[in-house]
């Protein structure tokens, strides 16, 4: 038996970085007090979500991973509490900027960085202005609490993200997020859809999944406003939600899983045994015209 307790955090962000770091530290401590081994803060928690507008001065918020204030603070906290913390941060690397995660192990070491692979672009979510597409590829890490895979927000809408990390040996999946209202359609509420997509990742890969979102209304520079809908949750290996936050309140969620029992479940279920990579060529293309039997079947169809 290898029990692990996973925690999801959600909070509102203020314009002041120090206030946000202190609030996040308080929530991390609360999660650790409830027995959490791995604690997931939300995406880009140092500031309000700054990608609503294209503002050149906000590009200057990016900082190198080495010595980054959020990472340094969470490293000290992880070492003190003996917990794992995937830390979202705005990374400067040479002349490039990335939306990144530093995985901090329970002894405070930074095990490495994952850079967000899928970068969205839309009204209120203008991330292509701020971030280059990640160049790390999907990654997994052996932490004190188990082998984890971490994607970032828009990554969660692509089943390939979760499956790739599962194939690389992840035992648990984590998705820090910043998602809320849509400026072009205020009546469009994607919260339930957002949850169901990730519940599918958990169920399809037979492993727990943790998603942390922010809450609150955040103004943009040009008179816009996004309202983040929280709804952070933890799903079990069947995709069922076992813990869920509401849309408006600061929350710490926690759930415990037996990783050995889940490994046995994955082995017995057969979804990885019965995979057919030789048929999946179209997935590796943008237009679906990849090689393998799928393409040959299209060519001979009447």
Closest by Cα among 148, 162, 161 to 205:
162
Q: Is 43 a catalytic residue?
A: yes
The residue with tokens 């309000």 is 48
Burial of 17 (0-12, 13-18, 19+ CB in 10 A): middle
Task: Return d(Cα 48, Cα 39) in angstroms, integer.
Answer: 20
261: number of Cβ within 10 Å? 12
46, 153, 171, 218: the active-site residue: 153
13, 46, 51, 116: the active-site residue: 116
Q: Are 2 and 259 in contact (CB under 8 A)?
A: yes
Closest by Cα among 87, 76, 22, 33 to 252:
33
Distance of CA 1 to the CA centre of its chain: 27
The residue with tokens 């995660």 is 101
Task: Return d(Cα 86, Cα 153) in angstroms, integer.
Answer: 13
Q: Is 144 a catalytic residue?
A: no
What distances in angstroms separate CA 226 from CA 11, 121, 189, 267, one per listed residue?
Answer: 15, 15, 12, 43
Q: Is 222 a catalytic residue?
A: no
- DSSP character at residue 278: G
Question: Which residues lie closer than 8 Å to 252 by C-beta, 6 or more apart?
Answer: 7, 8, 9, 27, 30, 31, 34
DSSP sequence for 243-293: EE--SSS-EEEEEEEEHHHHHHHHHHH-TTTT--GGG-GGGGSSSS--SSH
Q: Are 111 and 66 in contact (CB under 8 A)?
A: no
3-state class (DSSP) for residue 28 = helix
Task: Return d(Cα 290, Cα 279) in angstroms, integer.
Answer: 10
Residues annotated as catalytic are: 43, 116, 153
């Amino acid at each position: 038996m290898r029990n692990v307790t996973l925690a999801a955090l959600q909070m509102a962000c203020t314009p002041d970085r120090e206030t946000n770091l202190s609030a996040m530290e308080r929530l991390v401590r609360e999660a650790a007090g409830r027995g959490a081994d791995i604690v997931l803060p939300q995406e880009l928690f140092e500031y309000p979500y700054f990608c609503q507008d294209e503002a050149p001065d906000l590009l200057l918020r990016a900082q190198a991973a080495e010595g980054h204030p959020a990472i340094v603070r969470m490293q000290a906290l992880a070492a003190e509490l003996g917990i794992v913390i995937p830390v979202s941060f705005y990374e400067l690397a040479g002349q490039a900027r990335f939306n990144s995660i530093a995985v901090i192990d329970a002894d405070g070491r930074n095990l490495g960085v994952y850079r967000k692979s899928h970068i969205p672009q839309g009204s209120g979510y203008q991330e292509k202005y701020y971030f280059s597409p990640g160049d790390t590829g999907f990654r997994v890490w052996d932490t004190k609490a188990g082998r984890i895979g971490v994607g970032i927000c828009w990554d969660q809408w692509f089943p390939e993200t979760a499956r790739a990390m599962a194939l690389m040996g992840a035992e648990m999946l984590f998705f820090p997020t910043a998602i809320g209202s849509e400026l072009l359609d205020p009546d469009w509420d994607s919260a339930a859809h957002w949850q169901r997509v990730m519940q599918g990742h958990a169920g399809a890969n037979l492993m727990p999944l943790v998603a942390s979102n922010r809450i609150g209304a955040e103004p943009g520079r040009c008179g816009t406003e996004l309202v983040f809908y929280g709804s952070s949750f933890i799903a079990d290996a069947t995709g069922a939600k076992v813990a869920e936050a509401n849309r408006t309140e600061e929350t710490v969620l926690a759930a415990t899983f037996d990783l050995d029992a889940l490994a046995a479940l994955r082995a017995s279920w057969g979804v990885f045994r019965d995979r057919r990579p030789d048929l999946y060529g179209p997935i590796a293309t943008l237009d679906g015209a990849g090689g393998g039997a799928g393409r040959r079947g299209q060519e001979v169809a009447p």
